[in-house]
Amino acid sequence: MDHFEAFLNSKNWIDNDLDARYINKNHPYAILISGDEGQITLRGNTGIDNGQNGEEIFSFTSLKELQEWFEDNIGE
């Protein structure tokens, strides 16, 4: 999962609480990393919970899938 974290940090997605929930103040999403399941989940960021209770938008199982989604949808 370290590769996911490095990629997200390079795109200014930060895990302030060190709880595997990445946010970027410029985007209405939160990205949650589940190391046990090997899955990345993109959720709506509902405010103070940093996506914990937000609606699931996409799930990714590989870094390549996440990178492609960024390129196609965020332009990064």
The number of domains in the chain is 1
Residue 39, in any domain of the structure: yes
Q: What is the pLDDT of residue 49?
A: 67
Q: What is the pLDDT of residue 46?
A: 67
d(CA 76, CA 15): 19
With contact defined as beta carbons under 8 Å apart, do 33 and 22 qualify? yes
Domain containing residue 18: 2-66
What is the per-residue pLDDT across 17-64, written as a single tens digit (0 to 9) for each? 888 889 888 888 888 888 777 788 888 876 666 666 778 888 998 889
- Higher confidence at residue 25 or residue 2? 25
Q: What is the pLDDT of residue 50?
A: 65
Residue 54, in any domain of the structure: yes
Q: What is the pLDDT of residue 68?
A: 93
pTM above threshold 0.75: yes
Residue 38, in any domain of the structure: yes
Q: Half-sphere exposure of residue 54, counting CA atoms within 13 Å on the CB side? A: 22
